[in-house]
Amino acid sequence: MIAKETIEEILAPYLEENQLILTAVKTNKANNLKIFFDAPGRDVTIDDCVALSRFLESHLDRDKEDFSLMVSSSGK
């Protein structure tokens, strides 16, 4: 199982660089990962979601541990 703390650690530099705020990370034993974030002062775009998803996927090894990933705005 991929730990919530591992995901937070991986995303921290990306979020800081892109001025984004992580609002929630949800994981379960089946490695269904759900990432929610916000962009202060502006709307979150689909491009933001795609970029964050690709960043996280590039730092996880599917050969070591398979997972599903959903990235979304926190909806605020």
By residue range, what is the domain housing residue 68? 4-73
Nearest CA-CA partner of 24 in 4, 2, 10, 3: 4
32 membership: H or E segment, kind and range = strand 32-38
Give the total number of structural domains in the chain: 1
State pTM to two decimals.
0.92
> For residue range 20-40, what is the model confidence (pLDDT) as tens digits?
999 999 999 999 999 999 999
Check pLDDT > 70 for residue 76: no
CATH number at residue 28: 3.30.300.70
- When pLDDT is cut at 50, 70 and 90, the band that residue 75 belongs to is confident
Segment (H or E) for 48: helix 46-58
Mean pLDDT across 1-14: 97
Determine what percent of the chain is predicted with pLDDT higher than 70.
Answer: 99
Q: What is the dihedral of CA 58, 24, 64, 10, to 10 degrees?
A: 50
